[in-house]
């Protein structure tokens, strides 16, 4: 799910993705019984007689399935995108518009993954955007190059994430380590990488239009977007290079 602010210039609109945060898909669950830490005994057998991990009635967080609007149950909680937008993302966007981005128009860009086409979720997001004068602009099916996350951010994060988890190359990394590495990569991701992705996506779509819907040009070695040629990196993102004639 990509969210950005637009005011006609490519200077600041990428910042919205950075300011809204990076969310782990988890939810609260209530323990039905006491659970102890496991250990291996001298014979290699697994024993559950270590320190108490949680007691009956304790609330703890579990990773869960992403849905459009279904929050699940206390026994089987789910991560609802509708709740995420309603309780966290939209209020954050509202505060950003009041504080530093007055006059900008938020653009909500989703793909066609299962949770993103949930009817209750879509009706809520579309209705909220219509009421606020924001833009709901889902990408066309099978067009990951129309979404900055799929086009630039996720590939950049994936390479760095794999490098951080290199020590687990022959074993499965613990879930907490996977999450901590992903969060670290997100925090260290240069703003310029996010900004260039938006410019790259716009130029790719312009080429798709010129090619009458064909996107095979993406496989050509001679295709260049010239983003690096036209823009230079800054601390907050990118800016157009000044050409001296």
Q: pLDDT for 60-109, tens place per residue?
A: 889 999 999 999 988 889 999 999 999 999 998 898 888 777 888 888 87
**CA dihedral of 71, 74, 76, 79, whole degrees rounded to 10:** 30
Whether 83 contacts 71, CB under 8 Å: yes
Cα 73 to Cα 27, 55, 173: the distances in Å are: 10, 20, 28
Mean pLDDT, to the nearest integer, of 53-63? 87
What pLDDT does residue 7 have?
Answer: 45
Residue 189 DSSP SS3: coil
The dihedral through the CA atoms of 61, 63, 65, 69 has a sign that is positive
- 171: pLDDT confidence band, cut at 50, 70 and 90? confident
Q: What percent of the chain has pLDDT over 90?
A: 21
Lowest mean pLDDT segment, chosen from 134-148, 151-165, 192-206: 134-148
| β partners of residue 125 | none
Lowest mean pLDDT segment, chosen from 110-119, 127-136, 148-157: 110-119
Given a cut of 50, whether residue 13 has pLDDT beyond it is: no
Indicate the pTM of the whole model. 0.78
What pLDDT does residue 122 have?
Answer: 92
Mean pLDDT, to the nearest integer, of 220-239? 82
Given a cut of 70, whether residue 6 has pLDDT beyond it is: no
Given a cut of 90, whether residue 36 has pLDDT beyond it is: no
Mean pLDDT, to the nearest integer, of 190-201? 86
Given a cut of 80, whether residue 212 has pLDDT beyond it is: yes
- 245: pLDDT confidence band, cut at 50, 70 and 90? low
- 124: pLDDT confidence band, cut at 50, 70 and 90? very high
Calpha distance 194→80 (Å, rounded): 26
What pLDDT does residue 121 have?
Answer: 93
What pLDDT does residue 19 have?
Answer: 66
């Amino acid at each position: 799910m990509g969210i950005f602010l637009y005011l006609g210039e490519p200077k600041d609109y990428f910042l919205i993705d950075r300011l809204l945060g990076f969310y782990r898909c988890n939810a609260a669950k209530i323990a039905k019984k006491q659970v102890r830490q496991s250990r291996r005994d001298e014979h290699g057998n697994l024993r559950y007689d270590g320190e108490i991990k949680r007691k009956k009635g304790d609330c703890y967080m579990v990773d869960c399935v992403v849905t459009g609007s279904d929050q699940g149950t206390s026994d089987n909680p789910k991560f609802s995108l509708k709740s995420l937008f309603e309780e966290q993302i939209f209020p954050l966007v509202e505060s950003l518009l009041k504080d530093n981005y007055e006059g900008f128009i938020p653009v909500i860009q989703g793909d066609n993954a299962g949770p993103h086409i949930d009817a209750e979720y879509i009706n809520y997001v579309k209705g909220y955007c219509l009421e606020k004068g924001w833009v709901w602009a889902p990408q066309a099916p099978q067009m990951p190059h129309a979404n900055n996350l799929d086009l630039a951010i996720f590939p950049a994060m994936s390479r760095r994430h794999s490098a951080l988890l290199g020590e687990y190359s022959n074993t499965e990394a613990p879930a907490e380590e996977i999450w901590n590495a992903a969060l670290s990569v997100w925090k260290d991701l240069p703003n310029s990488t996010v900004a260039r992705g938006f410019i790259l996506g716009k130029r790719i779509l312009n080429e798709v239009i010129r090619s009458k819907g064909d996107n095979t040009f993406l496989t050509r070695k001679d295709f260049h977007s010239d983003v690096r040629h036209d823009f230079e990196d800054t601390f907050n993102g990118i800016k157009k290079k000044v050409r001296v004639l």
